[in-house]
């Protein structure tokens, strides 16, 4: 697992040079706009909603003793909850809507590594790619929210909240890497086959997603570069994984 996580991370070292070499920057223009608009809308909404959520949680404490302490903790947890849910929504919205634009990128990267532009894969339309992206990301969004809520509740428990933060980050990373890898997988595998493939290679997905999440910590520049860099890195790894799997089948 650790070895595969590192592979998912180190693929980013090739991303910028490969994007430039294959002249892929033009494919990222619309996804970057989608990313910036989505981040702005979610950011503004989250800023106004965090205090309200903290106040709502604080009202759940009906006793007088410890009320001030609980109110303070509620404000912090409310802010974290809004940030986490905002990141989850941002991530899945941009990955779903960018699917038709990312598919050509991953296809060109695959052709580059295989040494041919005429490789065998399923032919899908713009609308099919968009629907696939929406379907995958709705599925991942639902699962991620189901796991996120109990982890957020653990933040009320001292010491345990440290581990819950790490688990939240890794979970977000996994689903980010999941979406990035599917841009390549959608040409080769069905919806269910892709899920099975990524489960088998979850370390690579986590590694890709870790850097994806770290990019979002960089103001503005991170939002601009997150898709180009992460999708390219995921495509590099996914093509290699599929090649290895095919070689094993031949042997």
pLDDT band of 16, cuts 50, 70, 90: very high
pLDDT tens figures, 122-156: 667 788 888 999 999 999 999 998 998 888 778 76
Give the pLDDT score at 27.
93
pTM of the model: 0.84
For residue 187, the SS3 value is: coil
Give the pLDDT score at 121.
59
Q: Which of 192, 209, 205, 191 has the alpha carbon at shortest distance from 238?
A: 205
For residue 242, the SS3 value is: helix
Q: Which of 29, 195, 41 has the alpha carbon at shortest distance from 104?
A: 29
Q: Hey, where are the domains in the chain?
A: 2-118+142-243
For residue 160, the SS3 value is: helix
pLDDT band of 98, cuts 50, 70, 90: very high
In whole angstroms, what is the distance from residue 205 CA to residue 17 CA? Answer: 21
Q: Which of 35, 137, 30 has the alpha carbon at shortest distance from 94?
A: 35
- Share the mean pLDDT of the chain: 86
DSSP 214-225: HHTTSTTHHHHH
- Judged against a pLDDT cut of 70, whether residue 116 lies above it is answered with no
- Judged against a pLDDT cut of 90, whether residue 55 lies above it is answered with no
């Amino acid at each position: 697992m650790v070895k595969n996580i590192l592979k998912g991370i180190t693929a980013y070292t090739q991303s910028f040079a490969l994007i430039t070499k294959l002249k892929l920057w033009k494919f990222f223009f619309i996804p970057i706009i989608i990313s910036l608009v989505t981040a702005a809308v979610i950011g503004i909404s989250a800023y106004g909603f965090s205090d309200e959520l903290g106040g709502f949680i604080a009202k759940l404490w009906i006793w007088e003793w410890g009320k001030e302490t609980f109110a303070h903790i509620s404000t912090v947890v409310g802010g974290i909850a809004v940030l986490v849910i905002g990141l989850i929504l941002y991530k899945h919205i941009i990955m779903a809507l960018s699917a038709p634009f990312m598919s050509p990128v991953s296809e060109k990267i695959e052709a580059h590594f295989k040494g041919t532009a005429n490789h065998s894969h399923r032919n899908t339309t713009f609308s099919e790619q968009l629907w696939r992206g929406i379907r995958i990301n709705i599925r991942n969004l639902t699962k991620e929210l189901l796991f996120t809520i109990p982890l957020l509740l653990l933040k009320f428990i001292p010491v345990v909240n440290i581990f819950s933060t790490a688990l939240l980050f890794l979970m977000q990373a996994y689903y980010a890497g999941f979406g990035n890898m599917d841009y390549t997988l959608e040409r080769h595998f069905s919806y269910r086959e892709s899920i099975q493939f990524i489960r088998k290679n979850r370390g690579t997905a986590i590694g890709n997603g870790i850097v994806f999440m770290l990019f979002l910590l960089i103001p503005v520049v991170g939002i601009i570069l997150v898709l180009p860099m992460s999708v390219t890195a995921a495509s590099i790894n996914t093509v290699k994984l599929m090649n290895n799997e095919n070689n094993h089948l031949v042997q």
